[in-house]
Structure 1
Amino acid sequence: MHLDHATAYPERHTHGAGPLRADGSRRALRIGLGGPVGSGKTATVAALCRALRAELSMAVVTNDIYTREDAEFLLREAVLPPERITAVETGACPHTAIRDDISANLEAVEELEEALGPLDLVLVESGGDNLTATFSRGLVDAQVFVIDVAGGDDIPRKGGPGVTTADLLVVNKTDLAPHVGSDLDRMARDAADQRGPLPVVFQSLRGADGVAPVAAWVREQYAAWAAR
């Protein structure tokens, strides 16, 4: 027997943390990056660090279930000084530490700000998760969801709150589209149908523009944050 019922997505918390730290100083803008395993989140974080580190005081918090692999990649690539990169081992499904119990990530962010002094921007990278992954607004001020064309050009059509509600959707690895049979025009139409006015960026980190459109979006978020 078929039961007709609405899809129940996990709640996306809308109550954000205040802009001030306990001492009254302005805290850093926090941007979360989520997406499926292998979509290119860590590579995007690395590229953003390279693009923005000369103009913004930055730090990064990575999340992995049992390892520090993503943080170690960023350290090997020397995208920021080592003291500006820290790792959270979630010990459970990645979305738990970014949406349900955010205490470990909040502590990591706050420790970075205490150690480094005033920061402009903290990037919080989730461990690889599925299309339901979202960040608590108590943890981040804006969120980016990264998918890649090798995962199938039907991903935007499948939706899920990661795709439909993220402040920015990044369709990554567009250079692979001819090799995996993905239709970028179809992905763009489906993403627009799912997201309405919310922005979508198609990127290849191997291309000439690379992460530039995403970096421009981050600059816009920071300018709005600094003007509050």
Structure 2
Amino acid sequence: MVDETESVRALRLGVAGPVGTGKSSLIATICRALAGELRIGVITNDIYTDEDARFLRSAGVLEPERIRAVETGACPHTAIRDDITANLLAAEDLERDFAPLDVVLIESGGDNLTATFSPALVDAQLFVLDVAGGGDVARKGGPGIGRADLLIVNKTDLAPYVGVDVPQMVADALQARDGRPVIALSRTDAESVAALRAWVLGVLDAHRQGEHVPQDPGPMAPHFHADEEHPEGGYVHSHDEEHEHEHPHPHPHPHAETVAGR
């Protein structure tokens, strides 16, 4: 008898958030919590390096071959929303090489509060904030904070040292998200890690049953791109449909197949 789960494509989970919020350590936490029962692969994104992939390999959370790096060669959000080719190839290669996989985690390069994944790349997405970034960040909103499938308020163990009221930050986040799920997480807190584990398993079950529909959090807000060759030092870029080709991004890499995996 064929196990029906074997014929379902792996659940692809995107992990986005600003620089330094702990995206790589969050992925390591998910792997430690679930690698004993799920078959997991990881894809990291950096502009010019594979540093996040090397961090995860050194942490020993998965076999090193299951952790691959994409070097975007451009703004971090380019390869997760504008032109997903390199990441899509990497995910497909990873799933083919280690078939069957249950979950592929795709980490965005560190970006700002507006970064979101294309639903053509991931089935669900987590957005990561951390208490060291300030207790007021959660209520500032934006598509990632407001409409990602899950918001993580990370590094709660640091709250006493940075003067952040975690329950208030979570309350602000819930209000900004109209009640969508929020987890206050510390990798040293077993209860919060268990909540994260349960959420991933819940989404995976819905994916396998065909009940989960990928949602688009919406286009990134207009944002400034520095450009030394531009007469004003850069330009404002918009991702809405009316202006989506006004300032096209370069392809994330001229030879996507050469950076899809290591």
2:209 paired with 1:223: no
1:178 to 155, 160, 170: 160
- Superposed, which structure 2 residues align to 1:65-104 within 5 Å? 65-104=47-86
Q: CA deviation at 1:182?
A: 1.0
2:16 paired with 1:34: yes
Cα pair 1:44 1:211 within 8 Å, conserved: no
Q: CA separation in 1, counterparts of 2:171 and 2:60?
A: 37
Give the RMSD, CA atoms, in angstroms. 1.3
Q: CA separation in 2, counterparts of 1:201 and 1:78?
A: 25
State the match for 1:165 in structure 2: 147
Cα pair 2:13 2:103 within 8 Å, conserved: yes
Q: CA separation in 1, counterparts of 2:85 and 2:101?
A: 20
State the match for 2:119 in structure 1: 137
Deviations 1:86-137 (A, max 9, x none): 0000111111111111000000000011111121110001111110010000
Q: How many residues align?
A: 205
Q: CA deviation at 1:165?
A: 0.8
Q: CA deviation at 1:211?
A: 2.2
State the match for 1:211 in structure 2: 193
2:87 paired with 1:105: yes
Q: CA separation in 2, counterparts of 1:206 and 1:53?
A: 18
2:147 paired with 1:147: no
2:42 paired with 1:60: yes
Q: CA deviation at 1:35?
A: 0.5
Cα pair 2:183 2:192 within 8 Å, conserved: no
Q: CA separation in 1, counterparts of 2:37 and 2:57?
A: 20
TM-score by length of 2: 0.76
Q: CA separation in 2, counterparts of 1:198 and 1:175?
A: 23
Unaligned runs of 5+ in 1: 1-23
Q: CA deviation at 1:215?
A: 1.3
Amino acid at match of 2:167: D
Q: CA separation in 1, counterparts of 2:44 and 2:147?
A: 22
Amino acid at match of 2:49: T
Task: Give the match's secondary structure for 1:39.
Answer: coil
Amino acid at match of 1:103: T
Unaligned runs of 5+ in 2: 1-5, 211-262
